[in-house]
Amino acid sequence: MKELRQRIAGARRIVAFTGAGISVESGIPTFRGPGGLWRTYRAEELATANAFHRNPRLVWEWYDSRRQIMAQAEPNAGHRALAALERRCGGFTLVTQNIDGLHNRAGSRRVLKVHGDIWRLRCMDCEHEADDFRTPMPDLPPRCQCGGLLRPGVVWFGEYLPRDVWSEAESAASGAEVFLTIGTSAVVYPAAGLIDTARRGGALIVEVNPQETPYSQSVDHSLRGPAGEILPELLG
Ligand code: BV8
Ligand code: ZN
């Protein structure tokens, strides 16, 4: 770990790519781990434009319950270690698949949210978009002034990632000297493809996850443990 710490401390261009696992120690259940189910539904069934079209109220009940959990959650030592790294390293880029907003609340200034943000609502009719932190929402599904349905400002399965955020994430990954993949099962694409992009660019790839992932065998260092413990040690 010491040699790796020095490698990272000496790197100019570092990318951290995070998933739901970094928020586990803040009390937010992951997608595919225990607690990833809601009532009898899998996330993949509810996080789609189709499900929302068919039953906006049900999908909003799921997002509203997640917003309530996220509002109670506090950033943990893993989030804070990444915010500190951003202050120390000018060439640092944080890319997250998480929609919980905990990186921002931990002090990270530049957060590339490739799967959107649960605290942003967008109108399905007039496209008006704004932050809304109310928990619980007064009525479900929420409506825009124009009368249109408001949706969570997140990327659903089958939807494109926000173009400019995605291209910024891709170019950061392709130019990285060190690429940290933290708390993600790396099964959702194109986001997980950032790991391949970083490897093609010659980056040193470090994975932080208590479990194996499809990338564990091919990364340079696979650190088996929780982000809240490993990151302060690795980046401190
Ligand atoms: C796209 C936002 C192009 C919403 C999310 C069929 C039709 C259409 C598309 C597809 C298809 N088949 C495949 C696809 C592509 C699809 C995909 O990849 N599907 C997967 C399931 C196979 N991708 C898409 O649809 C993407 N768009 O392809 O557009 C296109 C356009 C039109 C038509 C066709 C194609 C959009 C994907 C974005 C979906 N939105 N979230 C919401 O949150 O409600 S994805 C969702 O999964 C979350 O963002 C989450 O972050 C992400 C990845 O999951 P993880 O973050 O990795 O979380 P997970 O639970 O899986 O793992 C947690 C990890 O943490 C575990 O490894 C665990 O061990 C670890 N852990 C636990 N504790 C700790 C820890 N780690 C560290 N410390 C700890 N303490
Ligand atoms: Zn509207």
Say what the pLDDT of residue 104 is: 98
Residues of the chain with CATH 3.30.1600.10: 29-72+122-154
Is residue 40 over pLDDT 90? no
Q: In the chain, where does the domain assigned CATH 3.40.50.1220 lie?
A: 1-28+75-115+159-236
Task: Evaluate: CB of 181 within 6 angstroms of ligand 1.
Answer: no
**C-alpha 29 to ligand 2 mean position (Å):** 32
Considering every ligand atom shown, identify the ligand nearest to the alpha carbon of residue 144 and give its number: 2
**89: confidence class by pLDDT, cuts 50, 70, 90:** very high
Write the pLDDT tens digit of every residue in 161-182. 999 999 999 999 999 999 999 9
Residue from 28, 30, 119, 165 whose mutation best tests the ligand 1 pocket (most atoms within 8 A of CB): 30
Identify the band that residue 96 occupies on the pLDDT scale cut at 50, 70 and 90.
very high
Average predicted confidence (pLDDT) for the chain: 96
Q: Where are the alpha helices (DSSP H) in 40-99?
A: 43-46, 49-54, 56-72, 77-88
Determine whether the shortest distance from the Cβ of 83 to ligand 1 is under 6 A. Answer: no
What is the token pair recorded at 180? 């940290």
Identify which of 209, 236, 235 has the alpha carbon closest to the alpha carbon of residue 222: 209
Q: Take residue 160 and report the two structure tokens written for it.
A: 């494109």
What is the fold, at CATH topology level, of the domain defined by 1-28+75-115+159-236? Rossmann fold (3.40.50)
In the chain, % helix, strand, coil (3-state, to 5) comes to 35, 20, 40
Q: Tens of pLDDT along 144-153? A: 999 999 999 9
For the cut 70, the answer to whether the pLDDT of residue 74 exceeds it is yes
Cβ(185) to ligand 1 under 6 A?
yes
CB of 101 closer than 6 angstroms to any ligand 1 atom: no
Superfamily of domain 29-72+122-154 in the CATH hierarchy: SIR2/SIRT2 'Small Domain' (3.30.1600.10)
Q: Is 115 a catalytic residue?
A: yes
Does residue 154 register a pLDDT over 90? Answer: yes
